Amino acid sequence: MPPLIGTSWKMNLTSSEAEAWLRSFVPLVHGFVGRELFVLPPFPAIWVARRELADTAVAWGAQDVHPEDRGAHTGDVSAEMLADLGCTFVEMGHSERRSAHGETDALVGAKVGTALRWGLTPIVCIGEPRRVSLLAARSACGRRLAGALGGLSGPELDRIVVAYEPAWAIGAGSTAAPIEHIGAMHASIRRWLAAHGSTASRIIYGGSIDTGNAGAILATMGVDGLFVGRAALDPRAFAEIARTGADTHGLGTSALASDATTETER
């Protein structure tokens, strides 16, 4: 599969700001091949993403979903609503949701089931909450996987993206996990998925990705893509990160030079 490179804007960018971001970003990645791109705006801006990205190769989605299809759930958003907006991906289980809203693995698992039922691709975030030994990190992530995904079949797991995001590598002032740690954790996650019947699940890394480290992380064995946070609030930085991925996976330098020249001439 092509590398999967996306971003969650978290609680940033109004609908008007999202429009400006998307109109800046889309020309920068026009014609890119060999990778899959997505953006996850806040709920109020999803309709803007649908309008601006409908005729592009860039997918859009949401940062959360309610486990029920309908009902008296004030302030929540259902998978049906997201599907109606043309969403492809939906994120769940982020460490900020777990810490700020008390979300459990069981709740994440319920959200996964709902997303799959409506044809959405769940992006399931897992990661150890603090810096610990590799053995402890593997154990923590194994528990997360079992709690959220343990009841799924192999074909169901193949429809899921696992985002490895150690909580200690997320947020302002943090730094990305060391390459060796990322590689070891992705290998551990892949072994768990394979043991439960998956042959095609994708595992992407998130946590303090920027233009300086994206290439090395994406080139790490077992890393199927990148889940970019605050660096992607600058559309040009996110395009550069996407371009790094394209370079790593064989996009010709002439194509990149052409894109750069076009942008310079604007």
pLDDT tens track for 42-77 = 999 999 999 999 999 999 999 999 999 999 999 999
Identify the pLDDT of residue 244. 86
At position 61, the amino acid (one-letter code) is: G
Identify the pLDDT of residue 245. 54
| pLDDT over threshold 60, residue 84 | yes
Question: What number is the average pLDDT over the span 199-205?
Answer: 97
Share of the chain above pLDDT 90, in %: 88
| pLDDT over threshold 80, residue 249 | no
Residues serving a catalytic function are 94, 165
- The predicted-structure confidence for 215-237, as pLDDT tens digits, reads as follows 999 999 999 999 999 999 999 99
Q: What mean pLDDT is reported for the chain?
A: 92
CB 122, CB 90: distance < 8 Å: yes
Question: What number is the average pLDDT over the span 169-188?
Answer: 96
Q: Tell which wins on pLDDT, 224 or 245.
A: 224
Helix (H) or strand (E) run with residue 32 in it: none
The position carrying tokens 């150690």 is 166
- The predicted-structure confidence for 108-149, as pLDDT tens digits, reads as follows 999 999 999 999 999 999 999 999 999 999 999 999 999 999
**CATH number of this structure's domain 4-265, picked from the four choices 3.20.20.70, 3.40.605.10, 3.40.50.1100, 3.40.50.300:** 3.20.20.70
H-assigned helices in the chain: 15-28, 46-53, 79-84, 95-101, 105-117, 134-149, 154-157, 179-195, 214-218, 235-248, 253-265
Identify the pLDDT of residue 1. 86
Identify the pLDDT of residue 139. 98
Question: What number is the average pLDDT over the span 182-204?
Answer: 97
| pLDDT over threshold 80, residue 183 | yes
